[in-house]
Amino acid sequence: EIVLTQSPGTLSLSPGERATLSCRASQSVSSSYLAWYQQKPGQAPRLLIYGASSRATGIPDRFSGSGSGTDFTLTISRLEPEDFAVYYCQQYGSSPPLFTFGPGTKVDIK
């Protein structure tokens, strides 16, 4: 089973600042199967990035994803008030459990 680790656990930043979130896998993950989700309190997760670097429909271009192998990054170039949330990385593998999620990074207001 591939284990995803996210860091930091919490990121305290101000609006307008740049956020860099890390997702590390216990073994190599195909970039095709690495996604990022945003979750706000009381809401379902929302797909942000798929294929490690492709933005989902309607996602602003301040969100970008990069990485390969075992190290992936989600970057929010300039934080807007609505970006303060929890972010999860997810990978899809070939053997069960087919989907695994990282523990999440909370981006909160400094």
Partner 1 sequence: QVQLQESGPGLVKPSGTLSLTCAVSGGSISSSNWWSWVRQPPGKGLEWIGEIYHSGSTNYNPSLKSRVTISVDKSKNQFSLKLSSVTAADTAVYYCARESVDIPTGYYYMDVWGKGTTVTVSS
- Compute the least distance from the CB of residue 56 to partner 1, in Å: 7
Assess 38 for contact with partner 1 (CB under 8 A): no
Length of the chain: 110
Among positions 2, 13, 22, 92, the unique one binding partner 1 when judged by CB under 8 A: 92
Assess 2 for contact with partner 1 (CB under 8 A): no
| Residue closer to partner 1, measured from CB, 46 or 62 | 46
Gap between the Cα atoms of 13 and 109, Å rounded: 5
Closest alpha carbon to 86 in 11, 3, 4, 2 = 11
Among positions 10, 32, 66, 68, the unique one binding partner 1 when judged by CB under 8 A: 32
8 prior amide bond cis, ω within 30: yes
Are 19 and 38 contacting, i.e. CB atoms less than 8 angstroms apart?
Answer: no
Q: Binding to partner 1 (CB under 8 A): which residues in 54-83?
A: 54, 56
What one-letter code names the amino acid at 7?
A: S
Assess 9 for contact with partner 1 (CB under 8 A): no
Beta partners for residue 100, in sequence order = 91
Per CB under 8 A, residues contacting partner 1 are 32-33, 35, 37, 43-47, 50-51, 54, 56, 88, 90, 92, 96-104
